[in-house]
A = this chain, B = another copy of it.
């Protein structure tokens, strides 16, 4: 039976926290930005990898400012609503360095809630099951195809990760489909 890696010892400071903060800090490290700008950047350049909503970005920036990780100044252009431009502080840089070194060597596997239905495949008539799995395979294939559409990212580590994971998923579903006959 499957064993948990429990009682493994440390239990430490809840692993896995702070990636969003790390991400925002890291982006602000390149150049200061206001919330909308940051959010736009996330949507246009990183939406494939991370899904951070506008409200989340604003809230996070607010929190980080309270903690002193970032500072903000108002910028007025004409008589539009002013922008709050955020910059990383020295303290923020320290936090960034710490978070980076904590997060990089860690690996906690992602959760795959999408796999739940696979547990109950035998509740379906074989024909229908085959059909549904075919659909899943097509979904994955399409995502792999989408990847080819922006090859400008090829070679980027996160892009490669995406590709490798999708290929593993495809292989897996194909295995499932292949195993169907011999049942």
Q: Residues of A at under 8 Å CB distance from B?
A: 1-6, 16, 19-20, 22-23, 26, 29, 43-51, 96-97, 99-101, 103-121, 123-124, 128-129, 132-133, 135-136, 139-140, 143, 146, 149-150, 152-153, 157-158, 160-162, 164-169, 171-172, 175-176
Copies of this polypeptide in the complex = 2
A-B contact pairs, 26 of them (CB 8 A): A1-B152, A1-B153, A4-B43, A6-B47, A20-B113, A20-B116, A22-B116, A23-B119, A29-B123, A50-B116, A97-B123, A101-B124, A103-B117, A104-B117, A104-B121, A104-B129, A107-B114, A107-B143, A107-B169, A110-B114, A112-B161, A115-B157, A115-B161, A118-B158, A157-B176, A160-B175
Q: Once bound together, how far apart are the Cα atoms of A51 and B153, in whole Å?
A: 33
Q: Once bound together, how far apart are the Cα atoms of A19 and B116, in whole Å?
A: 6
Q: Do B113 and A165 have beta carbons less than 8 Å apart?
A: no
Given contacts A110-B112, A176-B157, contact A139 B105 (CB under 8 A): yes
The distance from the CB of A28 to the nearest CB of chain B, in whole angstroms, is 11
The distance from the CB of A120 to the nearest CB of chain B, in whole angstroms, is 4
The distance from the CB of A166 to the nearest CB of chain B, in whole angstroms, is 7
